[in-house]
Amino acid sequence: MLTRVQMAAVISFSILFNIPRYLDDRVVTKPDGSPAIAPTYIGSNGMFQIVYASFFYYIFTYFLPVIILAVMTYRHAILLLPSKLW
């Protein structure tokens, strides 16, 4: 049961965290009829780019996974230490 709750939390957070990515750009039609991508108001906002695209993106993509892996590896090593399975 706990695993399902954790999975639901991770999936929900992932969806909510990535919603601004879909609101960042829009598809427009060029005068020659070909599609192009143009920034929306959110995408062209400098504060959005600094806070979301730079700060939060790097924290949740790089730093948080490395910290979680380090903590899990440490805890695993502590659990294996008494059993001498090293």
Q: Where are the domains of the chain?
A: 1-44, 46-86
84 dihedral zone (left: phi>0; alpha: psi -120 to 50; beta): left
| Residues with Cβ within 8 Å of residue 28, at least 6 apart in sequence | 35, 36, 37, 38
The pTM assigned to this predicted structure is 0.61
Q: Is the pLDDT of residue 86 over 60?
A: no
What confidence tier does 84 reach under pLDDT thresholds 50, 70, 90? low
Q: Residue 53 burial by CB count (10 A; 0-12/13-18/19+): exposed, middle or buried? A: middle
Average pLDDT (59-75) is 92
**Site of tokens 């996974």:** 65
| Residues with Cβ within 8 Å of residue 74, at least 6 apart in sequence | none
**Structure confidence at residue 61 (pLDDT):** 87
- To the nearest whole number, what is the mean pLDDT of the chain? 88
Q: Is the pLDDT of residue 22 over 90?
A: no
**Structure confidence at residue 85 (pLDDT):** 60
